[in-house]
Each structure stands twice: as C-alpha cells, then as structure tokens.
Chain A
Amino acid sequence: MEVEILARIQFAFTVAFHYIYPPLTMGLGLLLVLMEGTFIVTGDRMYHRLAHFWTRIFAVIFSIGTATGIVMEFEFGTNWATYSRFVGDIFGSALAAEGVFAFMLEAGFLSLLLFGWDKVGKKTHFFATCMVCLGSHFSAIWIVVANSWMQTPAGYHLELFQNGVHSILPADYILQTADIGHVRAVIDSFWEMVFNPSSLQRLCHVIFGTWLSGSFLVISVSAYYLIRGRHRRFAEASMTIAIFLAAATSVFQSISADATARGVVQHQPIKLAAMEGVYHTAPYTPMNLFGYVDASQQTVYSIQIPGLLSLLAFHNIKTPVIGLDQLPSDAFLAARNPGKSAQELAALRPQYWPKVQGVFQTYHIMIIFGSIVFGMAFFSLFLWWKGWLFRTDSLLVRLWLFLLIFSVLFPQICNQAGWFTAEMGRQPWVVYNILKTSQAFSKKVSSDQVLGSLLLFFAIYSLLFFAFLYLLNRKIQHGPDDPEEDPEPLEDGKRDFFYQLMVGTDSSRASS
C-alpha cells in the first residue's frame, strides 16, 4: 500500500484511540470540581468520598491519555514531515502554549490530586483539582484551534524559500507540485489565527462533548451500583450531580451543534453538501434522518424531511443549499486547472470532494446518537424530579438503569463520529484549499516502516485497551471506601447480575 494511505490509517487509528480518554478526563475533571466544591461548601463527608473515588477512576484514564498523547505529537514529525514544515510557523505557538499552559499545569497538579489527600489541606487540594480540570480544558483549546486553522486558515500568508531567499507569495497563490517542501505558511496575526472563523464554535462543540462523556461515565457506573444494590447513597449522589450536568450540557450542545453546522455552511459548503449527500442544488433542500449514498449514481436513498436543511442552514425553508454539482465553483476549478474547457473542469470536480458516503454516514451516526444522549439525559432528569429514578424495587426503573449502564458509549460514539465527519469532510485537503493531504506526508519514510509501526501500534493499543478495561473494572468493583455506610449483603454479593436486574436486591426491596 502507499505511504499516504498507511500514514492516514495510522493517524486516524492512533488519534481515534487517544480520543477515547481526554473527553473522559475533561468531563470527569469538571465533575470532580463540582463534587469537591460541594464538599468544601457543605462540609458533607459524602462528597469527599465521591471526589476520592472518582479521582481514582480519573487516574486510570489519565495515564492512558498521556501515554497515547505523546504518540500524536511524534506522528506530526514522523509521518507528516512535509506538513510539519508547512505549518510549523503557525502551529508552533499554539502547540507551545499547549505544552506550557496545559500539559504542565495538568501534570504538575495531578500528583497532588491523586496522592495529596493527606499531604495538603482540603482547600489546597481543591485548588489542585481545579487546576487539573483547567489544564485539561486548556489542552483542548490549543489543539482545537490548531485543527480549526486547518479547516478555516486565517491570519497568515504563504512564503517561498528557494535558493536561500524568502519571498512572500500573493494571497490568491495556488501551490504547485514543485513548490512542495519550499513553501510554508507564515503567521501574520496570532489572534486572527487563534480566532479563525471556526475556532470558537468547534471548541464549544468539543468541550460540551467531553462534559457529556464524563457525565455519562458517572451515570453508567452509578446505575450499575444501584442495580447491584451497592453503595446506594454514594451512587445516588454521584448520579444526581452527573444527570444535572448532562441535561444542562445537552441543551448547550444542541445550540452549539447548530452554530457549528452553520459555520460549515458558510466556510466549507462542500463538507456540508457531503454531510447531507446534497448532489443537486434545489430549493427546499431536505434533511436526511438516515440513508445510503450511492456515489456512482450520485443519489441518496433515505428518509427525509423536506426543507429542513434549508431551514437550519439559512433559517429559510426555500433557500437552496448549494449541492456538489456546483462545488467547488467554476472559478476555483479554472484557477487550479488552467487551459481546461468547461466540460473538462466539470469532470474534474469530484476530485475536490471528500468521500461522500463516509462523511454522510459518520455525520448521521453523530446526529442519531446525539439525539439519544439528549433523550436519555432528560428522561433521567424527569425520573429524578418525580423521585422515581432510585426506586430500584421497580423492574421498570431497573431496566432503565440497565440502559444507562451502556449510556457511557453513546457520547463516545458521538465524539468519534463527529471528528471523523470533520476530518474526512476536510479531504482532499490537509490545510483547507491550500495543501493537499497527498502532498503532506513524509517523503523519506517507506511504506514498510509505516506498515510496521501501524501493526506495532495496533498490537500495543489492543493490549493497552484491555489493560484499561481491566483496571477500570477493578476500581469499579472495589468501589468507594465506605464500609460502615454501606454494609454489603453477603447473599447479594454472590448473586448473579441478571438475577439482581430482574428480581432486585435485598437492599432495594428493603428500601421499598
């Protein structure tokens, strides 16, 4: 296989694997702040136990996040050397800020958070918790800014370096194959780079996604304890905080999703057309609920709501969403392919599209699971408000809790699918409309090497993943330290999970 394809597979695999963990630490970090903050304010020891237990879970996730994160930074250089030379001047400041402000903050205070319970006062410890949470959010800021710059570049100019001379290239300059390796993007304005057109919307979208991931992890584990009849008070307190955060974040996330999509309409219309499979420009553009893209026939078979995409994109049901038949524009094509006739240009058009099927499907997976997450958060909140959520003597409640155990997966699926939409939708460009992915990989690395490292990563990440699940399960089974608070009935401890799910536990019957 080609180096480009292998390098892309390797990057996608390592970054997707990495991105299982940071959303959990960010969301959980915020919850730790809420839990420990409640302890400081109310003085209720219960919240201290909450923070203590969830910190242990946090530690497991964090260490894998760090280990896989180093890989990402190395890969820019190992596999994408040409890209690194091209963007170094732009990304440099963002990455350095990430290292100094985010990683150092996180790593510095993490040991205090984990091992410092008896070494420092409770206020100092709370401060450390806040710093770890802040640090993890900072790291999201800089990396999303860097990625957004790749989607909507701003605040830069191109510079040619040849025969020892630097020359500034005009703003509308189109990169030629011969330029690759000699051209770099140079920063004009730091703030324009940071606040490029898509940064803020995408940053909010990413952060809310992480809060949902963290909340549903807590909800899931607490639901498991409730069905098992273990650590009841503890699980109820954890779940209450997490459900409130999840419900509030769901609302924010819906607003942010709309803003993000409208940003894509404005700045990356090809990506939007691919997300909804809009091949032909027509008024009352429909939105698909789900479907299948036949790329060869340029048709989408789907369940549709007419006019909804126009409504969401332009707040007007009639305005047509520009389809792939007109994208990219004739002028864009002509500039990149001088001397071609109109027909020839039209035939070249699909080369500038991403893989529509992939973008369409990942986008719809995100939407579908996002709606499920929203529904689960609010239905749980409703049950809580009615006082039904913790009535584990009822089979229906237990079944709902059983569903909640799996809810931890749904925000994760959304995060992954969303990033795949964003990154696949950016293709064939690595820096939008400037540098192609096929021009960006390391020229001197052979496909054998990339294949070898890909297999190596695959092997070690499988091990790492099982290790993670094993450790996480151990921590969950061990539970919080509250022996006198929650004496575990010996009988139940021996009983099978599904027996407890269907029949209930002694403690849940006692509570009825």
Chain B
Amino acid sequence: MAIHFLSHLLETITPYYTIIWFVLVGALFTGYSMLDGFDLGVGVLHLLVSKDEERRIFLNAIGPVWDGNEVWLVVGGGALFAAFPGAYATVFSGFYMPFIFLLVFLIFRAVAIEFRSKEPSTLWRQTWDHLFAVGSILASFMLGITLGNLTRGIPLDAEGEFIGTFWDLLNPYSLFMGVTVVVLFAMHGSIYLVMKTEGALQERVKSWVPYLILLFVACYFIFNFSTLIVAPHLAEIVFSRPWIFGVLGLDMFFLWKVWTFVKQGKELLGFLCSCIMMALLLATFGLTYYPNMVLSHPHPENSVTIFNAASTSKTLGLLCVIVLLGIPMVVSYTTSVYWIFRGKTRLTDTSY
C-alpha cells in the first residue's frame, strides 16, 4: 500500500524532478544558513563579552548543536553533487581558494570550541577565543563571497568551467556581500543568544539586537541597489517576475516582527521569525536565479542551468525516494534534540 502510493507519487512528479531538486538543494543550503548561521553568528559576537563565564555561556549555548548544524553543509554539498554534478564541479573547482579557506576556518573554529576551556590559563583562553571569533567571521565572509559571485555571475567557458582567477572573485560587490553575510549571521546569532541567556547578560545581548538589525537593513538596501547596477541581467529578471518584490516586502515584515517579539520577551518567536526571514532571503535569491545554477558573466549562454547540469531522471528519482524516507526521520530527531536541550544555557561538568 505504502509502496504503491510511493511509486504513484514518484510517477506524478517525474516531469518536475529538476525543479524539485533545485528547490531541495536550495532548501538544504537554507537549512544550513539558518542553523550554522546562528552558531557562526555567536562566534562573530564572541569577543564582545569579556568575562570568562560569559564567553563560556556563549560557547555552551551552541555546544550541543553546532556539530549537527555543520552536517547540513555536508548534506547540501552531497545533494548538489548528486542532483547537479555539473554545477557541483563548476562551483567547487571555480571557487577553489575561497572553499579551501572556508574549510580551514571551519576546522580552526571547531578546534577552538573543543580546546578553549580545557586549560585555566588566561593566555590560552584568549588565544582560542580569538581564533574562534576570527574563524567564525572569516568562514561567514567566504560564504558571502561565494554567494556574491554567484549572484553577479562568473566567467565560464563553453564547457561550463570557470575561466577567471582567484582575484576576480574578490570584486567589490562580492566583498560587500561577504560583509553582509557576517552582519546577517551576527544578527541571527544575537537573537539565538537572547533565547539562551538570562539576567544581566541577556539584557546586554538584547541591547545589541536593534543595532545589528539596523546594520543589516542598511547592508540589505545597499546590496539590493548595487545588484541592480552590477547585475543588470538579474534586474531584468526581477522586473519580469514582479512578485519577487512581494517576497522582499514579506522579508522586511518578518525582520520587523523579530524586533517586536524580542522586545516583548517572546524570544522563541523572535528566533523563528529570524529563521523565516533568512529562508525568505534565500528564496528571493532562488526565485531570481532560476533556472540557473551558476550564472555565466559575461557570456550568459555558457551558464550552468538545471537543464544542462542535472543527473538523469532515474537518479533524481532515487534521490526523491531517499529524501521521502529520510527527511521525516531527520526532522523528527533534530527537533527532539533541540527540544531536549531547550531552555537557558547553564554550565555543568560536561560543558565546554
């Protein structure tokens, strides 16, 4: 019965496989930025508190979950490899150095989390604190650079291979996108911290939130306008799909709700709104970008798209089966873990 239903379902969706996988790969990377976004953000803010106990609370707020959050990057990368090998190969070889740096910063950060509280010495803790913060900032920055370049388009040849250099990737637009992502994650992280802290520390973190929101709004408008100038081809698409403006408006609405919920002390709702806001941001990107996977600029005809980069529909079908079986399980135990570790962070003997 269940199998019959599954095969019937798969038959119905077969013509839409590539679209479904465009959405799913996007959803996985959205999941990654929502989840690892807040723990990278906590890292960005780490040096803003200076007492040892406060820093430990920051670390332990993300303690039980950061490792699992990073797995979303692995799964997202795996899904991209599986569903769109052409896009995976182009992006990963094209962004060679940014991705290597991303890996290095993520490793530094992981080590710093593990090590920091293992020795009481101030110098020791200061060193790891700085590595943790710098690793978090630069990892977020690399993600931003990648997103910026994808938006702007990178030079591809007829085979869909990147023909620029590393320095081409460091253009002002993408660098600014890097900054924007750091600010975005810091904002998201601060809201998570409001949820996980209490007392005087919570009051302090709370006081950062409006500044971070304003800073992000400023970045948001600057990059939206610069996109219109730097990537006129995307501007064209946006104006031909005017409902995208609706999504942008919704985005600002949720950002505003974040602040009102945080102010009212409804921390969980505030954090959820922040998550929705990030999901909408990436949705805007996906809606504008479709059907491209990697935009070629200046030769748009060389772009890697969902049509020329996808696996066969047989493989996409197998992937659908895997997802239909796997995702309910993943969602159920991920939520259980967040539920079990809900509430304020307190330091115990198993803490970092």
Binding site for B on A (CB under 8 A): 60, 62-63, 66-71, 73-74, 76-79, 81-82, 84-85, 87-93, 95-101, 103-112, 114-120, 131, 181, 184, 186-188, 190, 442-445, 449, 452-453, 456-457, 460, 463-464, 467, 471, 474
Residues of A within 8 A of B341 (CB): 111, 115, 119
Pick the contact of A110 from B67, B312, B326 — CB < 8 Å?
A: B67
Q: How far is the CA of A101 from the CA of B319 in the complex (A)?
A: 12
Contact indicator B94/A444 (Cβ below 8 Å): yes
Binding site for A on B (CB under 8 A): 63-65, 67-68, 70-71, 73-75, 77-79, 81-86, 88-94, 96-97, 99-100, 103-104, 106-108, 110-111, 114-115, 118, 159, 161-163, 166, 311-312, 314-315, 318-319, 322-323, 326-327, 329-330, 333-334, 337, 340-341, 348, 350
Q: How far is the CA of A445 from the CA of B162 in the complex (A)?
A: 9
Contact indicator B100/A456 (Cβ below 8 Å): yes
Residues of B within 8 A of A111 (CB): 64-65, 67-68, 337, 341
Q: How far is the CA of A469 from the CA of B312 in the complex (A)?
A: 45
Which 6 pairs of residues, A with B, have the shortest CB-CB distance?
A88-B85, A77-B92, A92-B82, A100-B326, A99-B75, A81-B93
Q: How far is the CA of A498 from the CA of B71 in the complex (A)?
A: 44
Contact indicator B110/A63 (Cβ below 8 Å): yes
Residues of A within 8 A of B337 (CB): 108-109, 111-112
Least CB distance, B65 to chain A, in whole angstroms: 6
Contact indicator A471/B75 (Cβ below 8 Å): no
Pick the contact of A186 from B96, B159, B312 — CB < 8 Å?
A: B312
Q: How far is the CA of A471 from the CA of B118 in the complex (A)?
A: 8
Pick the contact of B107 from A67, A115, A118, A445 — CB < 8 Å?
A: A67
Least CB distance, A178 to chain B, in whole angstroms: 12
Contact indicator A78/B99 (Cβ below 8 Å): yes
Residues of B within 8 A of A106 (CB): 71
Least CB distance, B136 to chain A, in whole angstroms: 14
Q: How far is the CA of A495 from the CA of B106 in the complex (A)?
A: 41
Residues of B within 8 A of A88 (CB): 81-82, 84-86, 88-89, 311
Q: How far is the CA of A471 from the CA of B63 in the complex (A)?
A: 17
Least CB distance, A185 to chain B, in whole angstroms: 10
Known: A67-B107, A93-B315, A444-B161. Contact between A114 and B89, CB under 8 A?
A: no
Q: How far is the CA of A92 from the CA of B311 in the complex (A)?
A: 8
Q: How far is the CA of A181 from the CA of B158 in the complex (A)?
A: 11
Pick the contact of B330 from A82, A104, A464, A474 — CB < 8 Å?
A: A104
Contact indicator B100/A114 (Cβ below 8 Å): no
Give B86's nearest chain A residue, CB to CB: A85
Contact indicator A460/B93 (Cβ below 8 Å): no
Known: A70-B74, A464-B111. Contact between A81 and B161, CB under 8 A?
A: yes
Q: How far is the CA of A293 from the CA of B70 in the complex (A)?
A: 46
Least CB distance, B78 to chain A, in whole angstroms: 4
Pick the contact of B93 from A68, A78, A91, A187 — CB < 8 Å?
A: A78
**From B81, B89, B340, B348, residue with most partner A Cβ within 10 Å:** B89
Q: How far is the CA of A445 from the CA of B97 in the complex (A)?
A: 10
Contact indicator A445/B93 (Cβ below 8 Å): yes
Contact indicator B67/A103 (Cβ below 8 Å): no
Residues of B within 8 A of A464 (CB): 107, 111
Q: How far is the CA of A95 from the CA of B92 in the complex (A)?
A: 16
Pick the contact of A77 from B88, B114, B166 — CB < 8 Å?
A: B88
Give A119's nearest chain B residue, CB to CB: B340
Contact indicator A92/B71 (Cβ below 8 Å): no
Known: A67-B111, A69-B74, A85-B89. Contact between A100 and B322, CB under 8 A?
A: yes
Q: How far is the CA of A453 from the CA of B100 in the complex (A)?
A: 7
Contact indicator B319/A81 (Cβ below 8 Å): no
Give B71's nearest chain A residue, CB to CB: A107
Pick the contact of A181 from B63, B115, B159 — CB < 8 Å?
A: B159
Known: A69-B74, A443-B161. Contact between A93 and B322, CB under 8 A?
A: yes
Contact indicator B81/A74 (Cβ below 8 Å): no
Contact indicator A99/B74 (Cβ below 8 Å): yes
Q: How far is the CA of A60 from the CA of B77 in the complex (A)?
A: 25
Contact indicator A70/B114 (Cβ below 8 Å): no
Pick the contact of A108 from B104, B106, B333 — CB < 8 Å?
A: B333
Contact indicator A96/B64 (Cβ below 8 Å): no
Contact indicator B64/A115 (Cβ below 8 Å): yes
Contact indicator A77/B81 (Cβ below 8 Å): yes
Pick the contact of B118 from A71, A188, A474 — CB < 8 Å?
A: A474
Beyond A91-B81, A460-B107, A471-B114, 20 additional pairs, beta carbon < 8 A: A63-B67, A66-B70, A67-B110, A68-B107, A73-B78, A85-B86, A89-B312, A95-B78, A97-B322, A104-B68, A104-B334, A109-B333, A116-B340, A131-B333, A186-B315, A187-B314, A444-B94, A445-B96, A464-B111, A474-B118
Residues of A within 8 A of B322 (CB): 93, 96-97, 100-101
Residues of A within 8 A of B107 (CB): 67-68, 71, 460, 464
Known: A84-B88, A109-B333. Contact between A74 and B77, CB under 8 A?
A: yes
Contact indicator A73/B74 (Cβ below 8 Å): yes
Contact indicator B114/A63 (Cβ below 8 Å): yes
Contact indicator B68/A460 (Cβ below 8 Å): no
Give A456's nearest chain B residue, CB to CB: B104
Q: How far is the CA of A76 from the CA of B314 in the complex (A)?
A: 22
Give 25 A-B contacts (CB < 8 Å), ordered by A residue.
A70-B73, A71-B103, A76-B88, A76-B92, A79-B93, A81-B90, A81-B92, A85-B89, A88-B85, A92-B318, A96-B83, A97-B326, A99-B78, A100-B323, A100-B326, A103-B74, A107-B68, A111-B337, A114-B64, A118-B348, A444-B94, A444-B161, A453-B96, A464-B107, A467-B111
Residues of B within 8 A of A95 (CB): 78, 81-82
Give A461's nearest chain B residue, CB to CB: B107
Give A86's nearest chain B residue, CB to CB: B85
Residues of B within 8 A of A99 (CB): 71, 74-75, 78-79
Give B332's nearest chain A residue, CB to CB: A108
Contact indicator B103/A60 (Cβ below 8 Å): no
Q: How far is the CA of A444 from the CA of B86 in the complex (A)?
A: 14
Least CB distance, B110 to chain A, in whole angstroms: 5
Residues of A within 8 A of B70 (CB): 66, 70, 107
**From B94, B103, B114, B326, residue with most partner A Cβ within 10 Å:** B103
**From B82, B99, B318, B341, residue with most partner A Cβ within 10 Å:** B82
**From B68, B91, B323, B327, residue with most partner A Cβ within 10 Å:** B68
Contact indicator A92/B323 (Cβ below 8 Å): no
Least CB distance, A126 to chain B, in whole angstroms: 15
Q: How far is the CA of A92 from the CA of B78 in the complex (A)?
A: 7
**From B96, B97, B318, B340, residue with most partner A Cβ within 10 Å:** B96
Residues of A within 8 A of B333 (CB): 104-105, 108-109, 131
Contact indicator A460/B92 (Cβ below 8 Å): no
Contact indicator B100/A92 (Cβ below 8 Å): no
Least CB distance, B97 to chain A, in whole angstroms: 6
Pick the contact of A444 from B68, B110, B163 — CB < 8 Å?
A: B163
Contact indicator A104/B81 (Cβ below 8 Å): no
Known: A78-B92, A91-B81, A460-B107. Contact between A100 and B330, CB under 8 A?
A: yes
**From B83, B93, B118, B159, residue with most partner A Cβ within 10 Å:** B93
Least CB distance, B80 to chain A, in whole angstroms: 8
Least CB distance, A403 to chain B, in whole angstroms: 30
Least CB distance, A161 to chain B, in whole angstroms: 8
Contact indicator A60/B114 (Cβ below 8 Å): yes
Contact indicator B111/A84 (Cβ below 8 Å): no
Contact indicator B315/A92 (Cβ below 8 Å): yes
**From A103, A108, A442, residue with most partner B Cβ within 10 Å:** A108
Residues of B within 8 A of A186 (CB): 312, 314-315
Q: How far is the CA of A77 from the CA of B73 in the complex (A)?
A: 14
Residues of A within 8 A of B63 (CB): 115
